[in-house]
Every structure is written in structure tokens, then in C-alpha cells.
């Protein structure tokens, strides 16, 4: 019997689905934005997105800015697993390599990549992203976060989840207004809030922009532990995205002139 290609290969090898995966690898998008990128009818794009969702490679979240809309997000960890298992199906030598945690971008002379994380209140999502990227990248990146309508203080669960899960102390940090960064140059601007995506202005030097559509954990109602569980889920999601951002930042450094 002829060998059957692994499910990931059969799914991802379709040209349109590969285009969708490639587009979502850069950030979260709405279906109409994806249709414009791949220049295909929206109903056809929706059909192929459903196949990717059924395979758990892509998931959709309802927009917190417009509840009638949804953002699609690519699960890069599942894609990595699919690629690894596909290689092993062809030859054992092509299977998963020994586990290597995402390392820090190599420290090289010269300017480091500058990253700005933006959400509305700068009390939960964006400060978590800032803290985790600084924790993982160290001095290999210049990272800051801000809000379009900053709160007076970080949410207590932001402080707690970073301390308990990563040993990071942000208790002395205060939310920052996006306006305070006017005129500052960034290489990457990443919005983590659907409202902030619509409100975030253009910055000098036209940095690369990406959107991570992450629900606000502070909006979850219930007991204190229910609310804290939402922050743990959010921080885990943000950390996964940050890990996949590190190779992008490392590539930025390699492209810099010596």
C-alpha cells in the first residue's frame, strides 16, 4: 500500500490554505482582511479557514471592538508539531530535534530591535507582554508598553501572575499613555486589544505592525480565583506568542549592517 501523506501535509499543501497560514503567521486578521490579502472571494476563504479550524491549526475569537466580527489566530506550536511529525513520517532522521527552548536574540554591537506593545488600559495584556519579552530577550531588545486610555495602576492579577509563574516583579510599574511615546522610533508595534488596534496612530519610520487579538482578562467576572485563572490563560497565550516573536527579532538583528 502506498504511504499516505500526513494530515498536516495534506492540509497545508493546498496553495490557498498555505497563503492563509502564511498571512496569519504575521498576526491576527479578520476574514475580509485575509480575503484581500489572498485576492480570493470571502466565502472561499471562510471555507478554507473552517478546514484549518477543524484541524485546530487556526482559532477564531470574537472581536472586543465589534462583537459581530472575529479575528483568526494561527497556533504556531501546533504547526511546529505538524511539521515535525510530517518529517518523521518521511524518515526518522527528519523527526523532532532535541528540545531547545527559544533562546535570547544574540547580543551584537549596535542598535537592538525596539518593540512597542499597545492595549487600551496598559494594565493587563500589554504590560504582561512587555515583561515577558524583556524576561526572555534580556538586553537583546528594547521593549516598552503603553495604553490608549491607561488605567491608574496595573491590575493586581497582572502583578501576581508574572510573579508566581515567571518570578518577574512589576509591582513598581505604572501604566503609560501612548501619547508619551510620540516621536519615538520603533521597529515593531504590536496591538493586543481590538480597540487599541483601531486607535493606535502611525509612528515615525513606519514600523512593522502586527495584531494579537487577546480578550481582556480583567473583563472576566466571577470569584477572585476565576478572575485569576483568566489572567493565567492570557499570560500563557502571550508567552507563546512572545516565544515565536524572538526569532523574528533575531532576524532583524542579522539584517542590520555591521
What's the pLDDT tens digit per position in 140-164? Answer: 999 999 999 999 999 999 999 999 9
Q: Are 130 and 120 in contact (CB under 8 A)?
A: no
pLDDT of 99 higher than 90: no
Taking residues 14-26, report their average pLDDT: 96
Residue 1's pLDDT is 66
Report CA-CA distances (Å) from 240 to 7, 10, 55, 212.
24, 26, 19, 12
Strand partners, 191: 118, 211
Q: Give the whole-angstrom CA distance, residue 152 versus residue 150.
A: 7
Q: Give the whole-angstrom CA distance, residue 45 versus residue 124.
A: 33
Residue 3's pLDDT is 76
- How large is the angle between the packed helices 224-255 and 76-90, nearest 10 degrees? 60
Across 115-148, b (16+ Cβ under 10 Å) vs e yields: bbbbbbbbbbbbbbbbbbbbbbbeebbbbbbbbb
Interior CA angle at 174 toward 171 and 176, to 5°? 150
Find the length of the chain.
Answer: 258
Q: Give the whole-angstrom CA distance, residue 7 versus residue 89.
A: 11
Here the cell at position 245 is 516573536
Q: Are 121 and 147 in contact (CB under 8 A)?
A: yes
Query: For the segment 101-140, what is each residue's pLDDT rounded down to a tens digit?
Result: 444 544 444 578 999 999 999 999 999 999 999 999 999 9
Place 187 in a pLDDT band, splitting at 50, 70 and 90: very high
Residue 141's pLDDT is 94
Query: For the segment 197-241, what is each residue's pLDDT rounded down to a tens digit?
Result: 999 988 878 899 999 999 999 999 999 999 999 999 999 999 999
Mean pLDDT lowest among 20-34, 50-64, 108-122, 172-186: 108-122
Place 97 in a pLDDT band, splitting at 50, 70 and 90: low
Here the cell at position 28 is 491576527
Residue 240's pLDDT is 94
Query: For the segment 40-62, what is each residue's pLDDT rounded down to a tens digit?
Result: 999 999 999 999 999 999 999 99
Helix (H, G, I), strand (E, B) or coil at 179: helix
Query: For the segment 1-16, what is each residue's pLDDT rounded down to a tens digit?
Result: 667 889 999 999 999 9
Q: Kindly report the CATH number that applies to the domain delimited by 114-255.
A: 3.40.50.2300
Taking residues 73-87, report their average pLDDT: 92
* CATH label, 7-94, candidates 1.10.10.10, 1.10.30.50, 3.40.50.620, 3.40.640.10: 1.10.10.10
Q: For the chain, give every domain's residue range.
A: 7-94, 114-255
Amino acid at each position: 500500500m502506498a504511504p499516505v501523506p500526513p494530515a498536516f501535509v495534506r492540509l497545508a499543501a493546498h496553495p490557498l490554505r498555505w497563503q492563509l497560514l502564511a498571512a496569519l503567521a504575521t498576526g491576527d486578521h479578520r476574514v475580509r482582511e485575509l480575503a484581500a490579502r489572498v485576492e480570493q472571494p470571502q466565502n472561499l476563504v471562510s471555507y478554507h479557514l473552517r478546514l484549518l479550524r477543524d484541524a485546530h491549526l487556526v482559532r477564531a475569537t470574537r472581536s472586543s471592538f465589534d462583537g459581530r466580527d472575529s479575528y483568526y489566530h494561527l497556533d504556531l506550536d501546533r504547526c511546529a508539531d505538524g511539521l515535525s511529525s510530517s518529517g518523521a513520517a518521511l524518515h526518522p532522521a527528519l523527526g523532532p530535534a532535541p528540545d531547545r527552548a527559544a533562546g535570547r536574540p544574540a547580543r551584537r554591537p549596535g542598535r537592538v530591535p525596539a518593540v512597542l506593545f499597545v492595549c487600551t488600559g496598559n494594565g493587563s495584556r500589554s504590560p504582561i507582554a512587555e515583561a515577558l519579552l524583556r524576561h526572555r530577550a534580556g538586553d537583546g531588545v528594547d521593549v516598552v508598553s503603553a495604553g490608549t486610555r491607561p488605567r491608574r495602576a496595573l491590575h493586581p492579577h497582572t502583578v501576581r501572575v508574572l510573579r508566581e509563574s515567571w518570578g518577574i516583579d512589576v509591582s513598581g510599574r505604572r501604566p503609560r499613555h501612548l501619547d508619551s511615546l510620540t516621536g519615538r522610533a520603533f521597529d515593531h508595534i504590536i496591538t493586543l486589544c481590538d480597540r487599541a488596534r483601531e486607535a493606535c496612530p502611525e509612528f515615525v519610520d513606519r514600523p512593522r505592525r502586527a495584531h494579537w487579538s487577546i480578550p481582556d482578562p480583567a473583563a472576566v467576572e466571577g470569584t477572585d480565583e476565576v478572575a485569576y485563572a483568566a489572567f493565567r490563560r492570557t499570560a500563557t497565550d502571550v508567552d507563546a506568542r512572545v516565544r515565536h516573536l524572538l526569532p523574528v527579532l533575531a532576524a532583524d538583528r542579522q539584517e542590520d549592517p555591521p
